[in-house]
Amino acid sequence: MGAERVAPLAAGLRRFGAAALRPALVNGCPALVLRLDGRVDTVLALRIADGRVTGLYAVRNPEKLARMDQEVTLRR
């Protein structure tokens, strides 16, 4: 879509008054975690290929977000 179309989406997230937006890594992808009143409301993850955003994924399902407050250490 291009930066010109994605930037207004990111800027529009500011309208949430009691929101906290934090960067994170989710499933190995850069993401933004939106918290409303202290709880995870939405996760926006980016798929990046060749230095360009090729996908934007939003998750709001409470069952899928239930583990977002847990940090997982990966081991080999």
Instruction: Name the amino acid, one letter, at 11.
Output: A
The per-residue pLDDT for 38 is 81
- The secondary structure of residue 9, as a DSSP letter, is H
CA nearest 39: which of 5, 7, 69, 9?
69
How do residues 34-49 score in pLDDT, each as one tens digit?
888 888 889 999 999 9
Report the number of distinct structural domains present in the chain: 1
How, if at all, do strands 39-49 and 29-36 pair? antiparallel
> Which pair of structure tokens corresponds to residue 72?
């997982």
Confidence band of 17 (pLDDT split at 50, 70, 90):
low
Q: Is residue 36 part of a domain?
A: yes
Range of the domain at 37: 3-65
Q: Is residue 12 part of a domain?
A: yes
Q: Is residue 70 part of a domain?
A: no
Q: Is residue 55 part of a domain?
A: yes
Q: Tell whether the torsion through CA atoms of 59, 26, 29 and 35 is positive or negative.
A: positive
**Where are the alpha helices (H) located in 1-76, listed in sequence order?**
3-12, 62-65
Quote the mean pLDDT of the chain.
79
Specify the higher pLDDT residue, 9 or 36: 36
